[in-house]
Amino acid sequence: MRGETSWVSHSLYIAKNNRNFNPIPEANDEGNKDDPPVISVDLILPDDLLERILGYLPIASIFRVGCVCKRWHEIVNSRRFLWNVSPLSSQKPWYFMFTSSDEPTGYAYDPVLRKWYGIELPYMVKTSRWFIASSCGLVCFMDNDSRSELYVCNLITKCCFRLLEPPGLRFCDYSALSISVDGSTNYTVSVVKSRQVPDNYFQWDLSIHVYDSETMVWTTTVTEMLTGWRGGDESVICNGVLYFLIYCTGSFQENRHGLVSYDLATRSPVRNLLTRGFISVPCSLTCGRLMNLKGTLVMVGGIGKQDRQDIITGIGIWILKSSKEWQEVAKMPHKFFQGFGEFDDVFASSGTDDLIYIQSYGAPALLVFDLKRNQWKWSQKCPVTKRFPLQLFSGFCFEPRLEISP
């Protein structure tokens, strides 16, 4: 694995800012002499058993116990512990929220402890203008302005790796970023690039570029011209298949959105991708957000009026049951829809595992939907505040993991 991780500074920082635990009182030397002696469990537990117990703690607690004593610090920083902690612990995906300011800082929400933690983005993320995708503890950043800088990093350990620039990425109008990590920590990054044909708004050149972390090489697998459709900024990899949204450029289509699938396993050029991989969206949408939840493709979308697709009437959640069949699994209740911002036709949404996060761009309110329990719930209030009239809020979901590195 590339990159080294320093755990001391992170442990001290979190311990300093999370002193909400009480020390264990010392035994009273003047107590009843007939009482049995007090023996610390820590002294009789072998390292492997103590390691297993500590592995069930939430990520934030693991950082804190590393400051308890030298033995615990060595355990939680050992390579064996880092690789075993994720399968043991019941970690849930966190949501990182940030503003449109130029400060690379924000807050991450832990749904297990229902707390927000201040986290500073890696040094290279100087502004909020980035395309962002995540998978299995790794987060991929691509510069929104020049599209010439791409990084893969672990937000918890701050370990980063810069990728080579994809061919011709700077010269495009729209691009969609996605990443997928397999079980052996190898990962795939894809960029769907869309560029308008000069003086022709209805024709767009679309290409798919795929990066393999093993070979560290980009491959251009698809080059095609679309008529009446263009690519956008929404894509996800699910079970080795790349899905990305396309947008209508004329008035002759029934819906403003469509979905295209491309099997990354083939890694071979294809023709007529729009015809072969086109999937209709479940209804008229104001916007759509794609995510991979345990190998299932999930779409969160703003439901538009049939005659006015730019007016939102609700927010729905669908899963792709077969290659082209959608099933509605939930619709946001009206009381949440009102509090969320019923006049915003676009919003941020991402998720993994069983959790889906939905956030309005105009406020720091964060709504969480548990797909397994079919339950809606507001998160704890985020401490981020609005300082400028036109400041927007955004965010993304990621898995807090210690062992994985780009």
pLDDT at residue 238 tops 90: yes
Residue scoring higher pLDDT (338 or 283): 283
Asked whether residue 80 falls in the same domain as residue 133, the answer is no
* 213 found inside a domain: yes
For 207-240, letters b (16+ CB in 10 Å) and e give: bbbbbebeeeebeebbeeebebbbbbebbbbbee
pLDDT at residue 21 tops 50: no
Res. 11 pLDDT band, cuts 50 70 90: very low
For residue 88, report the phi and psi dihedrals to the nearest 5 degrees: -80, -45
Asked whether residue 236 falls in the same domain as residue 376, the answer is yes
* 156 found inside a domain: yes
| Domain carrying residue 48 | 8-20+37-88
pLDDT at residue 25 tops 80: no
pTM value is: 0.82
Q: For the segment 127-166, what is each residue's pLDDT rounded down to a tens digit? A: 567 889 999 989 999 887 767 788 999 888 888 999 988 7
Q: What is the mean pLDDT of the chain?
A: 81
What is the layout of strands, in order, in the sheet containing 278-280? Answer: 229-238, 241-248, 257-263, 278-280
* Residue at a domain's end among 88, 106, 131: 88
Query: Residue 150 sits in a domain of what CATH number?
Result: 2.120.10.80
Highest mean pLDDT among 7-11, 63-67, 204-208, 338-342: 204-208
Asked whether residue 106 falls in the same domain as residue 78, the answer is no
pLDDT of residue 39: 59
* 150 found inside a domain: yes
Where are any strands of DSSP class E within 78-199? 94-99, 105-110, 115-120, 130-135, 138-143, 150-154, 159-163, 174-181, 187-197
Asked whether residue 150 falls in the same domain as residue 52, the answer is no
Look up residue 133 and give its amino acid.
A
pLDDT of residue 58: 75
Q: What is the mean pLDDT of residues 249-259?
A: 80
pLDDT of residue 28: 47
* 32 found inside a domain: no
* 2 found inside a domain: no
Lowest mean pLDDT across 234-238, 373-377, 390-394: 390-394
Asked whether residue 98 falls in the same domain as residue 83, the answer is no
pLDDT of residue 15: 40
Lowest mean pLDDT across 3-7, 131-135, 263-267: 3-7
Q: For the segment 364-386, what is each residue's pLDDT rounded down to a tens digit? A: 889 999 999 999 999 998 887 76
Asked whether residue 240 falls in the same domain as residue 367, the answer is yes
Q: What is the mean pLDDT of residues 191-201?
A: 89
* 403 found inside a domain: no
pLDDT of residue 124: 61
Contacts of 309 (CB under 8 A, 6+ apart): 255, 256, 284, 285, 286
pLDDT of residue 230: 92
Number of domains in the chain: 2
pLDDT at residue 33 tops 50: yes
Asked whether residue 181 falls in the same domain as residue 326, the answer is yes
Asked whether residue 81 falls in the same domain as residue 192, the answer is no
Asked whether residue 260 falls in the same domain as residue 300, the answer is yes
Asked whether residue 241 falls in the same domain as residue 292, the answer is yes
* 51 found inside a domain: yes
Which residues sit opposite 220 in a β-bridge? 209
Q: What is the mean pLDDT of residues 53-71?
A: 78
* Residue at a domain's end among 46, 65, 88: 88
Q: For the segment 299-346, what is each residue's pLDDT rounded down to a tens digit? A: 999 998 877 777 888 999 999 998 789 999 999 998 888 866 666 778
* Residue at a domain's end among 88, 111, 130: 88
Contacts of 185 (CB under 8 A, 6+ apart): 1, 404, 405
For residue 377, the 8-state DSSP code is E
* 116 found inside a domain: yes
Highest mean pLDDT among 41-55, 238-252, 300-314: 238-252
Asked whether residue 172 falls in the same domain as residue 232, the answer is yes
Res. 276 pLDDT band, cuts 50 70 90: confident
Res. 397 pLDDT band, cuts 50 70 90: very high
In the chain, pLDDT over 70 holds for what percent of residues?
A: 79
pLDDT of residue 210: 93
Highest mean pLDDT among 61-70, 127-136, 280-289: 280-289
pLDDT of residue 370: 95
pLDDT of residue 403: 79
Q: How far is CA 239 from CA 133, 188, 373, 402, in A?
A: 16, 12, 24, 24
In the chain, pLDDT over 90 holds for what percent of residues?
A: 36
Asked whether residue 69 falls in the same domain as residue 215, the answer is no
